[in-house]
Structures are given as C-alpha cells and as structure tokens.
Amino acid sequence: MAAAKGGAVQISEPRIEEHPAMVVAGVSQVFPLDGDFSSLWDELNQKASPAMLDVLNVTQYLGVCTQPNPKGQVRYTAGFLVSEPASAAKLGLGVLELPAST
C-alpha cells in the first residue's frame, strides 16, 4: 500500500497475506485488463435494491478479476460478500466462490 509522506509516495514492503474462502454475489463480464468497469457497477446498483441487500446481509462491496486470458482480458465481477450463496442465486445474481488463499 502506498502512503504519502512529505509529498512523496512511500511503497510498503511486500507481505504475504492469508484470506479465508469468500463468496461474492454480483454481476460479471469479460473486459480488457485496462477497461472501464464502471458500467458493471451501474448494472449491479440497478439490480441490488435495499431490500435485497438486507436479505443477503451485505457488509462489503468488492471487485474481483479472474480468468485472465492471452488476449489481455479478465472476467471482472462487481459484487458484495455474502454468506448465503443460494439466496443470492435465487435473487438473480451470479455467485463466485473464491477458495482460501495465501
């Protein structure tokens, strides 16, 4: 993570972090790696009503890049962390299960 110090950017030392398994509910599409993902967030915001967010007990939004390909594209998912993947699927959202990782 970069931190500003006296006008200069300081780069933190690399570190290894562990992440638990996560389930992300949302919408996804293939984009160029340097693409503008904002249209996907607009789509998610139109689908995700306040009632839906309450049902899914949403606490965190996140964007996830997966499935890079030789054409310089990735599958980008705009979504939120959920604990009930079946409920998210019933509400018409895609579900991306991410394994625990280091």
Q: Looking at the domain assignment, is residue 66 inside a domain?
A: yes
Neighbours of 1 (CB within 10 A): 6
Confidence band, pLDDT 50/70/90 cuts, at residue 5: low
As to burial, measured by CB atoms within 10 angstroms (0-12 exposed, 13-18 middle, 19+ buried), residue 15 is exposed
Structural domain span for residue 65: 16-98
pLDDT for the residue numbered 1: 47
In a domain, residue 23? The reply is yes
How many separate domains does the chain show?
A: 1
Per-residue pLDDT at 52: 86
What is the CATH classification number for the domain harbouring 30? 3.20.80.10
55 contacts: CB under 8 Å, gap ≥ 6: 87, 91
Mean pLDDT calculated for residue range 72-89 = 92
- Is residue 70 assigned to a domain? yes
Q: What average pLDDT is seen over the chain?
A: 88
- Any domain includes 11: no
Residue with tokens 């009503």: 49
Q: Pick from 20, 22, 19: which is nearest to 95 by CA?
A: 22
Judge whether 5 lies within some domain.
no
Q: Say how many CA atoms lie within 13 Å of 1 toward its Cβ.
A: 3
Percentage of the chain surpassing pLDDT 90? 54
Residue 78 is assigned to a structural domain of this protein: yes
pLDDT tens digit sequence for 32-41: 988 999 999 9
pTM above 0.85, yes or no: no
